[in-house]
Amino acid sequence: MLFSRKWLKLSCLAAMGLLANAGVKAADFYAGKQVTLVVSSDVGNTYDLTGRIIARHLPRFIPGTPSIVVQNMPGAGGIRAMNWLYNVAPKDGLTLGLVNNTLAFNPLYGDKLAQFDAQKFNWLGTPNKDNSLFIVWHAVPVKTIEEARNRELVLAATGAGSTPAFWARVAAAIFDLKVRIIPGYKSQGESFMAMERGENDGNAAPFWASLNSDFPGWIEQGKIRALVYYGATRDPEIPAPYAMDLITDPAKRSLLEVAQAGIAMGRPVLAPPGVDSAKVQILRDAMNAMFRDPEYLRECTQVARLKCDTAWSGEEISKFITTTYASPKDAVEKISEIFAQGQTP
C-alpha cells in the first residue's frame, strides 16, 4: 500500500511536470512568430473592424508578443471561412478565426454547406454579446410589433438564406406577421439606402452594434423605429420591447431561444480543432486579459461601438454552444424548417 501511494504521488508529480513543461514550450513557441486572424467577412464592416482592433491589442497579452495580421475570407455568408478553418487551416496555433456569430449553429439548423462541428472548435472568447432589432423606416405606418400584424411588411435581405431573411421568417412565425422578403442587396448598407428611398419597409435583423457603428443616431433622430429586439440578454439601452417579454407560448419561446443563440455570440474568435491544449489555454488567457485592458476597451467601445463589458470567455462560449445543441427537439425541427426555406433546392 505504501509503495502504491508513493508510486501514485510520483506519477502525479511527473504528470504535473509534463503539463508545466508543455505550457513553457507553448509560451516560447509564439516568440518571433506571426499569427493570422481570418475574418469571415469582407473589409469595412464591424467584424472586420473588430478583427483589426483585436489584432492590434492581443499580441501584448500573448507570451512572446507575436504579430497578428488580418486576412479577410468572405463567401457564403461566412461559411467559406468556417469550413476552411475546420478542414484546411493549420492546427499549429498560428491561425485563428473571427467568424460571423450565427455560424456556430448552422449545422444544428441542417445547413448542408456547413462542413464543420461547432463543438470541436477551440473557442477563445468574444468581445461582446449582441442583440438584433426588427426595424422599420419612420414613414411606415407601424409603431409596434402588434400593429405589424395588420399589414404586410416588405423586408430587405442580402440573400434568401441570409440572416435578415432567416429572421424575417422567424419573426413571422413567432409574432404571426405577414412578410415579403426582397433579397439581392449587396450589403446591409445598400438595403438601408433602399429603405430610405421607400423600396422596402425595413430589416428584421440588423445587429445593435452594427447599427450604432454604421448609422449612429438613426433611432434618436427618428429615422427608424425598432419594433422589438432579440438576443440572449436584455439591453436597457435599446428603445424597444425585448421579444422574450412578449411571448407566452412555451413552444414559441423555445423556438426563439434556439434562433437567437447565434446573435448572443457577438464577434467570436476561435482556433481550429486539433490545436495543442497548452496553446489554446495561452490564447484564452490572452483574450481574457485583453478584455480587461483599458486601452483595448476604449478602442473597442469608441471605435467599434461594441458593448465591450459583455465579453465571454472561450469556456463560456463552449458551454453555451453545447447547451444550445441540446435544445428541445421540436424547437430545433421548427428552426430547421424555417432555415430550409431560404436554401437553394
C-alpha radius of gyration, the chain, whole number:
22
Residue spans of the chain under pLDDT 70 = 1-27, 344-345
pLDDT at 76: 83
Could you tell me if 173 and 222 are in contact, meaning their C-beta atoms sit under 8 angstroms apart? Answer: no
pTM above 0.85, yes or no: yes
Cβ–Cβ contacts within 10 Å for residue 74, how many?
A: 17
The three three-digit cell numbers of residue 270, written as one number? 476561435
Q: How far is it, in rounded angstroms, from Cα 201 to Cα 185?
A: 14
Q: Is 8 helix (H, G, I), strand (E, B) or coil?
A: helix
pLDDT tens figures, 63-109? 999 999 999 999 888 899 999 999 999 999 999 999 999 999 999 99
**CATH topology identical between 15-129+266-328 and 132-262:** yes
Burial 128-159, CB ≥16 within 10 A → b, else e: bbbbbbbbbbeebebeebeebeeeebbbbbbb
Q: How far is it, in rounded angstroms, from Cα 99 to Cα 91?
A: 17
pLDDT at 45: 85
pLDDT at 166: 93
**Dihedrals φ, ψ of 180, to 5°?**
-125, 120
Cβ–Cβ contacts within 10 Å for residue 223, how many?
A: 16
pLDDT tens figures, 147-183? 999 999 999 998 888 889 999 999 999 999 999 999 9
Give the domain ranges of the chain. 15-129+266-328, 132-262
pLDDT at 21: 54
pLDDT at 133: 96
pLDDT tens figures, 248-264? 999 999 999 999 999 98
CATH of 132-262, one of 2.70.70.10, 3.40.50.300, 3.40.50.1370, 3.40.190.10: 3.40.190.10
Cβ–Cβ contacts within 10 Å for residue 276, how many?
A: 17
Query: Which CATH topology does 15-129+266-328 take?
Result: D-Maltodextrin-Binding Protein; domain 2 (3.40.190)
3-state secondary structure 237-287: CCCCCEHHHHCCCHHHHHHHHHHCHHHHCCCCEEECCCCCHHHHHHHHHHH
Sheet containing 224-230: give its strands across: 178-182, 152-156, 202-203, 132-137, 224-230
pLDDT at 345: 57
pLDDT at 1: 47
